[in-house]
Amino acid sequence: MFVLTVDQAGSRRHPDLVPSTTEALAPLRPRLPFTRTVGDEFQGVLEDPVSVVDAILTLMRSRTWHVGLGIGAVEEPLPDDPRAARGTAFLAARRAVELAKRAPGLVHVVAPDAPAEAEDAAVVLQLLADLRERRTDAGWEAVDAMAASGQQAEVAERLGVTRQAVGQRLRAAGWALEQRTLPTLARLLARAEVVAGGRP
């Protein structure tokens, strides 16, 4: 099982973003809903590694969050509220969010029973965060437009530029590499979960 514990960075200087962020993550259909735990921190439980990747990418986009991912077993049956849940994955997520405060990309992964696999996933996430932090506004505009339409010709028409210009923006943004990295990351997380005993 995957547990995300997420803490707002610089919360004393910024408005409370927990309600809007948990609402934005709700479509990922977590096993337990993303719920405020204490202060500007929230937690949720996910079963699908692809949804975990989507959640972390959403959170990394703004650099507003320390993101800790714990991988491991949870006690069944799960309660309705993640604040009442227990298990290795919850303890790991707590450790991960503390490590995230000093980690590249403000993200970390902990799986006590699969440390090598967790480290592999953490390194890929942190490299992905670095790639995305270097992306310009024009690069994000092209990437977001590609996510909406999937066709460079349509993106070019929408942005009022040539198809060649769109290709240049996407290359500079590292879009193709990111697209190849995401399924790799999901596979790494799935492997870590199996090794950690988080799934029968």
83 and 163 share a domain?
no
Tell me whether residue 53 is in a domain. Answer: yes
Count the neighbouring beta carbons within 10 Å of the beta carbon of residue 112. 15
Same domain, 105 and 12: yes
Q: Do 21 and 92 share a domain, yes or no?
A: yes
Question: Same domain for 25 and 58?
Answer: yes
Whether 154 is in a domain gets the answer yes
Per-residue model confidence as pLDDT tens digits over 104-155: 999 999 999 999 999 999 999 999 999 999 999 999 999 999 998 878 899 9
User: Do 84 and 6 sit in the same domain of this protein?
Assistant: yes
* CATH number, domain containing residue 97: 3.30.70.270
Asked if residue 200 has pLDDT above 60, the reply is no
Does residue 83 share a domain with residue 142? no
Residue 92 in any domain: the answer is yes
Report the pLDDT value the prediction gives residue 199, as an integer from 0 to 100: 59
What are 9-38's pLDDT values in tens digits?
876 777 889 999 999 999 998 999 999 998
Same domain, 143 and 57: no
> Do 6 and 82 fall into the same domain?
yes
Q: Do 76 and 23 share a structural domain?
A: yes
User: 18 and 77 share a domain?
Assistant: yes
Full 3-state SS string of the chain: CEEEEEEECCCCCCCCCHHHHHHHHHHHCCCEEEEEEECCEEEEEECCHHHHHHHHHHHHCCCCEEEEEEECCCCCCCCCCHHHCCCHHHHHHHHHHHHHCCCHHHEEEECCCCHHHHHHHHHHHHHHHHHHHCCCHHHHHHHHHHHHHCCHHHHHHHHCCCHHHHHHHHHHHCHHHHHHHHHHHHHHHHHHHHHHCCCC
Mean of pLDDT values over 168-173 = 94
Structural domain boundaries enclosing 108: 2-113
14/10 Cα distance (integer angstroms): 6
pLDDT tens readout for residues 146-166: 998 878 899 999 899 999 999
pLDDT tens digit sequence for 60-75:
988 899 999 999 999 9
Give the model's pLDDT for residue 82: 80
* CB neighbour class for 180 (10 Å; exposed up to 12, middle 13-18, buried from 19): exposed
Residue 86 belongs to some domain of the structure: yes
| 46 and 89 belong to one structural domain | yes
Domains contained in the chain, number: 2
The verdict on residue 150 lying in a domain is yes
